[in-house]
Structure 1
Amino acid sequence: MAFNLTGNKSAELKDKIRQELALANAREIIQHTNETCFKSCVPNPGQSLSGSETNCLSSCVKKYLEAWNHISQAYVQRVQKEEGNGRH
């Protein structure tokens, strides 16, 4: 089965795929962060969070997102470098 997409349709499809991947990545980040940070910061869940639990959750989420951003940037740079090498 072959698909013949015009340049415009191909670009639209690529953009849609990128959007879907970004959404899936965001969901993964949220799920993993919730699981990891909540387990670490809230050992005995109650009706509300204590100040220390809130601070722990904020710090944990911040660290996780910083690490995710660092890894994502390194990956994007690697892909761009490989794409650049493949074009020459």
Structure 2
Amino acid sequence: MPICPVCNGLREVYLICTNCGDHMIESGRLMDFYDNYSPYMEIDLMKMEDGYLETKSGHQCPHIYRCPICHKEEVIFIKE
């Protein structure tokens, strides 16, 4: 079973904001922000509900990255 290296602390992804050039901060899995119980739900079940084809067709884990300066948000797909 594939696992997400970012969720499991095996790897960090460093991104530069395309808006202002500052480093973006990983803010967690996209699914964790759906509602109060989302972080406790089965990951594969939540991927079926996220609306992204990338999570259904392959082993991708969507994470939210935010810029602390300009507050731009991006969803980045991490290969599991």
| TM > 0.5 | no
Higher helix share: 1
Smaller-chain TM-score range?
under 0.3
Question: Which protein is richer in strand relative to its size?
Answer: 2
Q: TM-score, normalised by structure 1?
A: 0.21
TM-score when normalising by structure 2: 0.22
Q: Compare CA radii of gyration and give the structure with the larger one.
A: 1
**Greater length-normalized contact order (CA 8 Å, ≥ 6 residues apart):** 2
